[in-house]
Structure 1
Amino acid sequence: MNIVTLLPFIVLIGAMFLMTRSAKRKQHQAAQMRNELQPGSGVRTIGGMYATVKEVNDDTILVDAGPGVELLFAKNAIGAVLSDDEYNRIVHGIEHDLKADGTVVPDDASSLTETDEPAADASDDKPVDLGKKDEVEDAADTPAEAKADAAEPKKSDGEAEAK
Structure 2
Amino acid sequence: MNLIILLLPILAIVLMFRSQKKRQQQMQQMQTALEPGAGVRTIGGLYAQVKAVNDETVELEIAPGVVGYFTKSAIAAVLEPAEYDAIINGRPAEDEPVDAEAVETAEAADTDADAETTDAKPLSFSKDDADKGDAKAEDGAPASK
Short-chain TM bin: 0.5 to 0.7
For residue 78 of structure 1, report the CA deviation from its aligned partner.
0.4
Question: Are positions 1:56 and 2:53 aligned together?
Answer: yes
Larger radius of gyration: 1
TM norm structure 1: 0.58
Aligned pairs for 1:98-137 within 5 A: 98=95, 104=97
Distance, in Å, in 2 between the alignment partners of 1:43 and 1:6 is 48
Superposed CA RMSD in Å reads: 1.8
Match of 1:22 in 2: 19
TM norm structure 2: 0.64
Aligned pairs for 1:1-163 within 5 A: 4-98=1-95, 104=97
Paired residue secondary structure (1:44): strand
Structure 1 stretches of at least 4 aligned residues deviating more than 3 Å after TM superposition:
103-108
| Structure 1 runs not aligned, ≥5 long | 109-163
Paired residue secondary structure (2:94): coil
Match of 1:158 in 2: none
For residue 105 of structure 1, report the CA deviation from its aligned partner.
7.6
Paired residue secondary structure (1:81): strand
Q: Give the fraction of aligned pairs with identical amino acids, expressed as a percent.
A: 45
Q: Deviations over 1:107-127 (max 9, x none)?
A: 88xxxxxxxxxxxxxxxxxxx
For residue 64 of structure 1, report the CA deviation from its aligned partner.
0.4
| Structure 2 runs not aligned, ≥5 long | 102-145
Residue identity matched to 2:86: R
Match of 2:115 in 1: none
Q: Which has the higher helix share?
A: 2
Distance, in Å, in 2 between the alignment partners of 1:44 and 1:21 is 26
Residue identity matched to 2:82: D
Match of 1:120 in 2: none
For residue 9 of structure 1, report the CA deviation from its aligned partner.
1.3
For residue 6 of structure 1, report the CA deviation from its aligned partner.
2.5
Match of 1:129 in 2: none
Distance, in Å, in 2 between the alignment partners of 1:97 and 1:11 is 48
